[in-house]
Structure 1
Amino acid sequence: MTEASVLIWDEQELMRVGLRMVVDSQADLTVVGEAGDGEAGLTQALTLRPDLVLMDVRLPRLDGISAIAQLHAVLPGTRVLVITACDRDEYAYAALRAGASGFVVKDVPAAEMLVAIRGVLRGDAMIAPSVTRRLIDRYVTGAVAPLTDARLDVLTDREREVLGLIARGLNNVEIAEKLFLGETTVKTHVARILTKLHIRDRVEAVVLAYESGLVRPGG
């Protein structure tokens, strides 16, 4: 079994110990390092090149948002799951914009934490339900005018349909069932969407779908 390597960034030692225990309890996950601030975390990441970074957004020496952006610039293949006690909308949106693949709060049960970790490693968008609706309402509904650029013009009608369902939170199996397609076909559509739109993962796809007006909350 191939193990995914995990690096933990959190100012609180107790939180780092807890996350290490959760991660190392799984046969397919292993913690390769810890850091108590953003600068130390970046230094370790460049050396260890982990598959995943679990981090708080509030870090000393280098704030989490800046650290995410710098990490994404030098190690685009390393995914980031933000795990924080501060679920303010501004932090969540900024983290996702900077390159994070997920955003969850620290008080989630260990089982849900592992679901989020594995989801991010698969390339899924893992955002705490308590944050998702507020993000959409505050930063998309009425706050961001639908874009009129031609970014979505490169997609076929079917690819637009798949993108819309991704933005609604459906996974590949659910999309396949809804559109009466094979799961492999859906995976192919998703890959083409990401390639054509020059985006990294499903998180960016969701943001783009809402900002472009392809999907609207409640629509």
Structure 2
Amino acid sequence: MMKSKIKVLIADDHSLMRQGLKQILELEEDMEVIELAVDGEDAIKKSQQLKPHVILMDINMPKMNGIQALRRLKDMGLDSKIIMLTIHEDREYLFETINIGASGYVLKDAESSSLIKAIRDVHSGESYIHPSLAASLVKEFNKKGRLDDDEFKKERLTRREYEVLGLIAEGKNNKEIADTLFISEKTVKNHVSNIFKKIDVNDRTQAAIYAYKHNIKKI
């Protein structure tokens, strides 16, 4: 039986960007662009009607920007996973989108493969952070004091947990980590759960930021 496709809604106020993203995604057999939205209000209305699996949300849009739309959709309890599409100048807003509950962050000038990976990852329940955004996010966390420098947390990690955390920071999902370390996905999930508890974070994005901040790399 054929696996159901990932239904994607694209919200961007630039027609060329919307059409370009649509063409890229429709080359993938497991994805279907079900609608295009021109601003935040349009994205909310169409998302309520169509309930896409994944929403690609531009940050800067007229009427209602992507952050406002993200907040409204989360308040409504919509199950769609939301990936923020950003340009370099938007990085200051990323800290806010983490708190609201975005599942992914992709730069508009990133390789198409990064966007495809982000969509698949968030659809499967993972988070995705573009590696080049990590430094900016760490800076924002430091400024606002959301993650501390408690070395005790780092010392509580096992060698294997260090490896898993380093691979999370590289943007790898559980299957990719399992393949890299030659262990089962179930074992990876257990390690990830333990890591979250030990370093006191709630999701993979915060774990990746923690890893970058503390210079944790795969051993």
- TM-score interval, smaller chain: 0.7 to 0.9
Q: Which amino acid aligns with 1:139?
A: E
CA deviation after TM superposition for structure 1 residue 133, in Å? 1.5
Identity percentage of aligned residues: 31
Q: What SS does the aligned partner of 2:9 have? A: strand
C-alpha distance in 1 between matches for 2:80 and 2:52: 6
Q: Which runs of 5+ in 2 are unaligned?
A: none
What is the alpha-carbon distance in structure 2 between the residues aligned to residue 172 and residue 192 of structure 1?
A: 14
Equivalence for 1:27: 29
- Cα distance change of structure 1 residues 12 and 146 upon mapping to structure 2, 3 Å threshold: closer
Distance 1:139 1:86, change over 3 A: closer
- Matches of 2:201 and 2:134, distance apart in 1: 23
Q: CA deviation at 1:126?
A: 2.1
Query: Which residue among 211, 215, 218 is the counterpart of 1:218?
Result: 215
Residue 92 of structure 1 is matched in structure 2 by: 94
1:108 aligns to 2:105 (yes or no): no
Deviation at 1:36, TM superposition (A): 0.5
Q: 1:140 maps to which residue?
A: 141
Paired residues of 2:165 and 2:207 also in contact (CA < 8 A):
no
The residue aligned with 2:185 is 183
Q: Secondary structure at the match of 2:79?
A: coil
8 Å contact from structure 1 (residues 87, 131) kept in 2: no
Equivalent residue of 2:145, what SS? Answer: coil
Q: Please give the alpha-carbon distance, in whole angstroms, between the structure 2 residues aligned to 1:215 and 1:85.
A: 21
- Cα deviations by residue, 1:74-111 (Å, 9 ceiling, x for unpaired): 24421111123344321222222222111112122323
Pick aligned residue for 1:14 from 16, 26, 29: 16
Aligned CA distance change for structure 1 residues 176 and 25 (closer, same or farther; 3 Å): closer
TM-score by length of 1: 0.75
TM-score with structure 2 length normalisation? 0.75
Aligned-CA RMSD value: 3.6
Match of 1:118 in 2: 120
